[in-house]
Amino acid sequence: MAESNNQDLVTLTVDGMTTSVPQGTLVIEAARQVGVMIPHFCYHPKLTPDANCRMCLVEIEKLPRLQTSCSTKVAEGMVVKSNVPHVDEARKSVLEFILANHPLDCPVCDQGGRCDLQDFSHQYTPTTSRFTELKRVFPKEYFSPLIETQMNRCVQCMRCVRYCDQVMDVKALAPSGRGTLTEIKHFSAHELDCEFCGGCVQICPVGAITSRLSMYDFRPWMLKRTDTICTYCGDGCHITIQKKQDELIEVNSTQGVGRNNGDLCARGFFGYHASVHPDRIMHPLIKQQDGRFAQATWEEALELVAEKFQGIKTAFGGNAFGGLVTSRCTNEELYLFQKFMRGVLGSNRVDSSARFGHVNGTLPLLSVQGTHRWTATFEDIVDADALLLIGTNITETNPITGLKVKQAVKQGHAILVTMESLLPARGTISNITLLATHHLPVRPDHYHIAIVGLIKSVLDNGLVDPGLETRAPEFFRAIKAAIDSTSWAHIEEVSGVSREVFSQSAHAFSSSTRGMIIVGQGVLRSPRGAEMVTNLLDFLILTGRHGQPGCGLCPLAEENNDQGAIEMGATAEFLPGPIAIGHHDTRQALSKLWEVDLPQEPASSLMEMFRDAQAGQVKAMYIVGENPVESLPQTGKIKEALESLEFLVCQELFLTETAQLADVVLPACSYVEKDGTFTNTEGMVQPVRQAIDPIGESRPDWEIFSALSVVMDQPMEYGEARDIFKEIRSVIPGYGLVGPVATRPTPKVDVVQQYLQEGFAHGLATRYVCTQDQPASDTPFLLASTQSLFHSGKFSTRSKGLLQIQSSGAIMLNPSDAKKLGIASGDSVCVSNAHGAVTTIARVLNRIPPDVACFPEHFDQDIRCLFELHIDKESHVPYSKLTWVRLERVEKGDV
């Protein structure tokens, strides 16, 4: 046989069945492969074996005593027996021991019905016990409002403790006490303070740690499961929604399944109630003369919209329409929206929330290497030997991608270079800079100059790819000249990072063979985002990592379908593909397929639409799931622009500030009520499935677009979301051929060649120029609007579970600044600048750098007014995440 010649395979016999498995496989896994399920509690494939429960004992020939199959590795010729009487006896005895102190409360235990201990007990033990002593009793405890512990049920397998440490790197849990009095505790004296990933709840083999969100509401056999994709960030985690009748009960994940491989974050595990919040719009609403909304039927609402749209189109032409869609929609909906805007209304004014930052990643990738996706996957992150993280505390923004980074560093010993404003200080949420081998502490407005510093180190230390200068002399000289114009003295002074540290980081990254750059919202959503990404691609080219296997630049998507929005053509500059809007052949093909003439007018993006609305050129807007009035600062005058429209249609889950301005509000479904696909940050197209019936009269967005097109007599009819996906496939051949691993494009050689010859020159005059924004003396603090691990946009603030973890925002500042200002955690603080003054609560945190204050964007309703709007000239991205403010303590009497 071929296998026997292969040195990496080991042949063994399990219960008489012979199998060959890779060297290093554990006996328990080898047995599983031949269908022998060895009972266990403490073993978990993700964790290092602890062999503490002793349930998985097997006989191995030639070894004196029974061995734990979870910790024993296979050996050539090994003979394993699990079905012999004394192994059976051993398991019975272990169960007898566990059950001695285990309470008989299965009828009131939420784990009852899916409990390993219950199952094994049925299989192995008699119904009576020889244990006639007193059971040891622990009082019930709560780890937090969300997690209950019943340590009487605990089997001390330590899976929760090990998961919290080894996978999450949080170390919130620990065993306390000895022997049979061992219980799992959290370290702090107060409530559990951790990432709330729910991992301990999920990994507990019994009912010792359970979620309080649905406590006593169900029995496992009442639940119906739906496998779908989470909507709270771009990671695209596979989740299983469990419902009882039409009531959402819980979300869980499956070990080994999905891009998340069974791991979740707080948002995914505890955030599922947002969709069923009582504020959901239940019926279509039409605004009356008096400005109030009246409930309407779908027919009335759709006919009104169709009539108004037709009227405006006849009077002013297609270019009088503007359309904005949220990237939380499915690919099918994004595709259909742009088809509706371009094909039915005849407008090129189409944009989505990918405009808020994701295009800053995609546009440079397209112009430098001809791909719109990552050239790497999550697996490549895990396998990387060097990772450069810029502008992201990845755990908070993209927690599961963050786990891959943790895995690479903790298990693969990868070099981790972080360029982040957060300081490496222990906190309750894992701070990725703590794992960094090299940390560049950079203020949120200094990423640009820090990137220049990194490239300068590459050039100055002779770390440039040896062949590059001969291969692309113009590129090399031009970049070098551009970099040389900034002196080290200037870089060190502005960035606050020494030349030495830059040089060490550059050396560390250059010494790798699989080096990846992960770019976060700190770069993508701040001024010059696209320039910084282009500069980072130059860095990859200079270090010779560009285009190498396992290397690449990866912009993180904030919303679940930012990537899909761009690929579906739901942004101003792209048709589906994404293909440039002016591409002749694609336009012809689409015209033919859609049976319409595509509009000829130049495309206009989000901010241009609002500008033109105010100028009276845009007469009507169709806003789907977006709330620009709230999400963009007042200086953008979005409200004024929308008020000047003749007609505004909003399609929403909730009556947001923007929806309140609408003439017609159409109730849409959330992700749990519809089918479709999401494309995650790494370009994996994954199926979204309907778990519960639509709330009220709400309908999936695609159905509404389709219905509207029918009423407008230009029907785009589809029976189900899948039919739209088929059409997407005909436009983008092979789109979303779903496999176990994301499709990994490689940089296009001709595009890279073109870039190295002349493309690099585009914008070179400005993109390396370092500017410095000096604070005014009366507003010395840089206020950054940041993301929290426990929320995603504003949607999650409707989730009762997440609100129990974090229900409000606080201004976070460094202890030294707080001391200077006489501020302590919990004090009232007045945050002010020329735009206004807001009073909020202070939170003092070690990880906030000096002269910086942070506020979570999810609760920024009041503080929003302090921010200014800047629009990128090239990528038209609106920036409003940073501003300068003054902080003052407010005395109690003044409030």
Q: Return the DSSP state at 273.
A: G
Question: Which CB, 94 or 436, lies closer to other proteins?
Answer: 94
Query: How far, CA to CA in Å, does 792 sit from each of 9, 11, 213, 271?
Result: 46, 49, 19, 10
Q: How far apart are CA 572 and CA 582, in angstroms?
A: 11
Question: Which CB, 52 or 832, lies closer to other proteins?
Answer: 52
Strand partners, 441: 420
Per-residue binding string, other proteins, 125-164, x by CB under 8 A, is -----xxxxx-x------------------xx--------
Question: Which CB, 68 or 486, lies closer to other proteins?
Answer: 68
What's phi and psi for 879, nearest 5 deg?
-110, 135
Question: Which CB, 56 or 276, lies closer to other proteins?
Answer: 56
Helix-helix angle 721-731:584-594, to 10 degrees? 150
Indicate which single residue of 44, 54, 308, 349 sits in contact with other proteins (rule: CB under 8 A): 54
Q: Is 895 in the site for other proteins (CB under 8 A)?
A: no
Q: Is 409 in the site for other proteins (CB under 8 A)?
A: no
Question: Which CB, 93 or 746, lies closer to other proteins?
Answer: 93
106's tokens: 């299965």
Q: Is 166 in the site for other proteins (CB under 8 A)?
A: no
Q: Minimum CB separation from other proteins for residue 158, in Å?
A: 8
Q: Minimum CB separation from other proteins for residue 140, in Å?
A: 20
Question: Which CB, 66 or 468, lies closer to other proteins?
Answer: 66
Residues with Cβ < 8 Å from 831, sequence gap 6 or more? 783, 811, 837, 838, 839, 840, 853, 855, 863, 866, 885, 886, 887
Indicate which single residue of 85, 139, 179, 822 sits in contact with other proteins (rule: CB under 8 A): 179
Q: Minimum CB separation from other proteins for residue 110, in Å?
A: 23
Question: Which CB, 132 or 777, lies closer to other proteins?
Answer: 132
**Does residue 596 contact residue 626 with C-beta atoms inside 8 Å?**
no
Among 96-104, 211-219, 520-528, 675-683, the segment contacting other proteins (CB under 8 A): 96-104
Q: Is 71 in the site for other proteins (CB under 8 A)?
A: yes
Indicate which single residue of 113, 145, 175, 745 sits in contact with other proteins (rule: CB under 8 A): 175
CA 716 to chain CA centroid, nearest Å: 32
Among 92-100, 417-425, 478-486, 663-671, the segment contacting other proteins (CB under 8 A): 92-100
15 torsion bin: left (phi>0), alpha (psi -120 to 50), beta (else): left
Radius of gyration, alpha carbons of the chain: 29
Among 169-177, 355-363, 716-724, 781-789, the segment contacting other proteins (CB under 8 A): 169-177
Sheet holding 238-244, edge to edge: 224-229, 238-244, 247-252
Residue length of the chain: 895
Q: How far apart are CA 735 and CA 784, in angstroms?
A: 38
Strand partners, 57: 68
Residues with Cβ < 8 Å from 667, sequence gap 6 or more? 280, 281, 282, 283, 284, 285, 651, 652, 653, 696, 697, 698, 699
Q: Is 178 in the site for other proteins (CB under 8 A)?
A: yes
Count of chain residues binding other proteins (CB under 8 A): 36
Q: Is 642 in the site for other proteins (CB under 8 A)?
A: no
Question: Which CB, 130 or 873, lies closer to other proteins?
Answer: 130
Question: Which CB, 180 or 588, lies closer to other proteins?
Answer: 180
Question: Which CB, 63 or 841, lies closer to other proteins?
Answer: 63
Cis status of the peptide bond prior to 45, with omega within 30 of 0: no
**Does residue 620 contact residue 309 with C-beta atoms inside 8 Å?**
yes
559's tokens: 């919303």
Q: Which of residues 347-386 bind other proteins (CB under 8 A)?
A: none
Q: Is 592 in the site for other proteins (CB under 8 A)?
A: no
Q: Minimum CB separation from other proteins for residue 27, in Å?
A: 13
Q: Is 753 in the site for other proteins (CB under 8 A)?
A: no
Among 53-61, 186-194, 488-496, 565-573, the segment contacting other proteins (CB under 8 A): 53-61
Question: Which CB, 57 or 523, lies closer to other proteins?
Answer: 57
H helices of 689-763, in order, are 701-711, 721-731, 749-757
Indicate which single residue of 30, 56, 74, 98 sits in contact with other proteins (rule: CB under 8 A): 98
Q: State the burial class of residue 719 (Cβ atoms within 10 Å of its Cβ: 0-12, 13-18, 19+).
A: exposed
Per-residue binding string, other proteins, 433-472, x by CB under 8 A, is ----------------------------------------
Per-residue binding string, other proteins, 662-701, x by CB under 8 A, is ----------------------------------------
Q: Is 412 in the site for other proteins (CB under 8 A)?
A: no
Query: How far, CA to CA in Å, does 387 sit from each of 124, 140, 519, 553?
Result: 49, 43, 11, 10
Per-residue binding string, other proteins, 31-50, x by CB under 8 A, is ------------------xx
As a whole number of Å, the end-to-end CA separation of the chain is 82
- Give the helix/strand (H/E) hosting 225: strand 224-229
What's phi and psi for 31, nearest 5 deg?
-65, -40
Q: Minimum CB separation from other proteins for residue 97, in Å?
A: 4
The helix/strand/coil state of 193 is coil
Q: How far apart are CA 609 and CA 60, in angstroms?
A: 73
Question: Which CB, 154 or 423, lies closer to other proteins?
Answer: 154
Q: Minimum CB separation from other proteins for residue 63, in Å?
A: 11
Q: Which of residues 224-283 bind other proteins (CB under 8 A)?
A: none
Q: ∠ CA 609-762-459 to the nearest 5 degrees?
A: 130
Three-class HEC string of 593-604: HHCCCCCCCCCC
Q: Is 186 in the site for other proteins (CB under 8 A)?
A: no
Helix-helix angle 298-316:701-711, to 10 degrees? 60
Place of tokens 């639409």: 609
Question: Which CB, 135 or 762, lies closer to other proteins?
Answer: 135
Q: Minimum CB separation from other proteins for residue 866, in Å?
A: 45
Q: Is 575 in the site for other proteins (CB under 8 A)?
A: no
Q: Is 723 in the site for other proteins (CB under 8 A)?
A: no
Q: Minimum CB separation from other proteins for residue 423, in Å?
A: 24
Q: How far apart are CA 828 and CA 892, in angstroms?
A: 8
Nearest to 325 by CA among 497, 642, 571: 571
Q: Minimum CB separation from other proteins for residue 47, in Å?
A: 12
Q: Minimum CB separation from other proteins for residue 424, in Å?
A: 20
Q: How far apart are CA 618 and CA 650, in angstroms?
A: 16
The helix/strand/coil state of 538 is helix
Q: Is 292 in the site for other proteins (CB under 8 A)?
A: no
Q: How far apart are CA 731 and CA 469, in angstroms?
A: 40
Indicate which single residue of 90, 400, 429, 731 sits in contact with other proteins (rule: CB under 8 A): 90
770's tokens: 């370092």
Q: Minimum CB separation from other proteins for residue 95, in Å?
A: 9
Indicate which single residue of 62, 65, 122, 584 sits in contact with other proteins (rule: CB under 8 A): 65
Q: Is 101 in the site for other proteins (CB under 8 A)?
A: yes
Q: Is 58 in the site for other proteins (CB under 8 A)?
A: no
Q: Minimum CB separation from other proteins for residue 479, in Å?
A: 41
Q: Is 510 in the site for other proteins (CB under 8 A)?
A: no
Residues that bind other proteins (CB under 8 A): 49-55, 57, 65-66, 68, 71, 90, 93-94, 96-98, 100-101, 130-134, 136, 155-156, 174-175, 177-182
